[in-house]
Amino acid sequence: MHTLTCKNIVRKMGDDFSLGPINLEIHAGTITAVIGNNGAGKTTFFQAMSGDYPGEGETKVHGHNVHSIAGKAALSYVPQTFPEVLPFRLQKLRDLHANHDDTWRDDRFQAYARQFDLPLRKRISKLSVGMQRKAVLALQLSRDTSLLLLDEPFAGLDMEGQTQLEKILISKMEDDPDGSIVFATHIADEVQRLADYIVIMKNGKTQEPMEKDILAQQFKRIWLAKSVTGVEEAPGIREVEGVPPQILTSDAEATEKWLAERDVQIMKRERLSLHESLPLLLRDEETNEV
Amino acid sequence: MPLPIEVNEDRQEPIYYQIEEQVKALIVSGYLPADTALPSIRALASELGCSVITTRRAYQNLEQQAYIKTYRGKGTFVQEVGKKKRSMLKEQAVQDVLRQAVKTARQHEYTDTEIQRLLTIVLKEER
């Protein structure tokens, strides 16, 4: 079952950038991290998914077009900037939702407001950047929706806020096993702790979602017992260093098969953390494009 | 409550298998008695830094082998494990650890006699 499907999403942004075409399916009950270097188009993509404005292609949430009322009611969107809420007091926005939004869950909002220690009667523009984000998160997470689109939700949050948000997102997923979260991030740790799938963005296009744990198995550092000729050309090899060599592979299975065929003894293997493997993946995309 | 298990990234076994084996060990040892509630697949995934795809697979395998049972909307609970099965599994767990030690010794090209000599030393030391 899919929570979100994007079909041929295209947005032309002036002369020098265009988004898409993007085709993407997000499974129910999963958390997907969208990663990409600055300028890759993540924010434009989140805007397109959330139905910010019309364009080519079609996005559906649980089968409802994202521009329809049912579609909009099925998703929560926390953008990176939110100029439209800045002039208001949080209490005012809460009242607006409570009176006009069928998805509103006031018990949740009160809990988040307490947890985040949010001032209800100050203008949001007067709050610190982190507090502003917490305010918008509290508003959107208080809506009972099955899809959360979060554009860098942890940016600007203090450490306590980061831990709180992580817990909130996980308990939301526990309460609604068919819900989904799609979030953009630059932080490998957040991917490690939250994501099931990783989507790489580059030049306005998305790649197929990758299972995080499969990715983790493919990137390895391997210590060999002795030198072996031609190891630089073995499948998956990214780096060869030192004598006896220590090698870095992005396709551990193929590399180990190659080594086994040559009877090379392996002293130690170590999986790469996402801190190391994600930058390699992002760099890859760049070289592939040229 | 988080489970006292950890996945070792550097071991060859897949992560779901490591989770499976450690949860089994906790059940067999009696640390997790019957009817204990286990963390949800989402909570466990976040504790271990892996995906729900992996934790779901581990739980499905454990359920198939009748160690745990999931009730929709309620959660996942430890099942009763019989005495006979328990002693068999204990033996298996010890064997697995010994096997790992033997593999390391063989990597260093020790002979069987040498390995037995080392085991005798360790047995004496640990008395």
- Delimit the domains of chain B by residue range: 15-78, 83-125
Per-residue confidence (pLDDT) for residue A219, from 0 to 100: 93
- Measure in Å the smallest separation between the Cα of A17 and chain B Cα atoms: 33
DSSP letter, residue B51: -
pLDDT digits (tens, 9 = 90+) for B84-107: 777 777 788 888 889 989 988 988
Q: Could you please report the per-residue DSSP string of A61-103?
A: ETTEETTSHHHHHTEEEE-S--GGGTTSBHHHHHHHHHHH-TT
B70 to chain A, any CB pair closer than 8 A? The answer is no
End-to-end CA distance of chain A: 36
A 158-217 → B contacts, CB under 8 A: 166, 170, 173-174, 177, 192-197, 211-213, 216-217
Tokens of A225: 């017992």
pLDDT at A286: 55
Determine, for residues B42 and A174 on separate chains, whether the beta-carbon distance falls below 8 Å: yes
Specify the pLDDT at position A197. 97
Among A178, A230, A214, which residue's Cα sits nearest to residue A30?
A178
- Taking only the tens place, the pLDDT of each residue in B22-61 is 999 899 888 999 999 999 999 999 999 999 999 999 999 9
Strand partners, A89: A123
Partners of residue A194 in chain B, C-beta under 8 Å? 46
**What pLDDT was estimated at residue A290?**
38
Residue A116's contacts (CB-CB under 8 Å, 6 or more residues apart) are A131, A134, A135, A137, A138, A161, A164
Q: Top-level CATH class of B15-78?
A: mainly alpha
**3 state DSSP class of A238:** strand
* Token duo for residue A261: 């065929």
3-state secondary structure of B108: coil
Alpha-carbon radius of gyration of chain B: 17
Residues in A touching B107 (Cβ below 8 Å): 265
- For residue A282, with 0-12 CB atoms within 10 Å meaning exposed, 13-18 middle and 19 or more buried, which class applies? middle
What parts of chain A have a pLDDT lower than 50?
A: 289-290
Cβ atoms within 10 Å of A280's Cβ, excluding its own? 14
Domains observed in chain A: 2-210 (3.40.50.300), 215-289 (3.30.70)
